[in-house]
Amino acid sequence: MTRKNAPLTVEGRCWLIERCRTRPIAHAVAEMGLSRACTSKWVNRWRAHGELGLLDQSSTPHHGAAASPAAVVAQIETRLHEGLEYRTPVEVEAAFTEADVTAPAVP
């Protein structure tokens, strides 16, 4: 499925590649009203991956953020219950020492 704001569909990308095979990218850009960056992106994907490079790619992240260690979460929750929730971010940051937020060294 093509994204809502995508300037080209899969068929449009194939048509773009055909134009770029027979003439310079700059000429295809002028004819199709696309940016050079967009056109170069699709041409480079096609050169690297062939027809599969012209398909839509997922925009979801490949990796999620790691969870905070349980000890850090417990420390934050304890301090929040002590009344820190009404302080400014600068005040909250000042309440934590370097040792509180520094991750242990990996052996």
CA nearest 38: which of 60, 7, 59? 7
Q: What proportion of the chain, given as a percentage, has pLDDT over 90? A: 9
CA distance 30 to 19: 11
Given a cut of 90, whether residue 44 has pLDDT beyond it is yes
30-42, pLDDT tens digit by residue? 888 888 998 899 9
Backbone dihedral angles phi then psi of residue 61, each to the nearest 5 degrees? -65, 145
Q: Which residue has the tokens 């000429």?
A: 27
pTM for this one? Answer: 0.50
Q: Is a pLDDT exceeding 80 seen at residue 18? A: yes
Rounded to the nearest 10 degrees, the angle between the axes of helix 25-32 and helix 10-22 is: 130
Residue 105 has pLDDT above 80, yes or no: no
Backbone φ, ψ for residue 7 (5° rounding): -70, -20
What pLDDT is stored for residue 101 in this prediction?
Answer: 57
Higher local confidence (pLDDT), 64 or 86: 64
Query: Where does the pLDDT of residue 68 fall: very low under 50, low under 70, confident under 90, or very high at 90 and above?
Result: confident
Domain ranges in the chain? 10-54, 70-101
C-alpha torsion sign, points 19, 22, 25, 31: negative
Q: Which residue has the higher pLDDT, 80 or 27?
A: 27
Res 103: pLDDT: 60
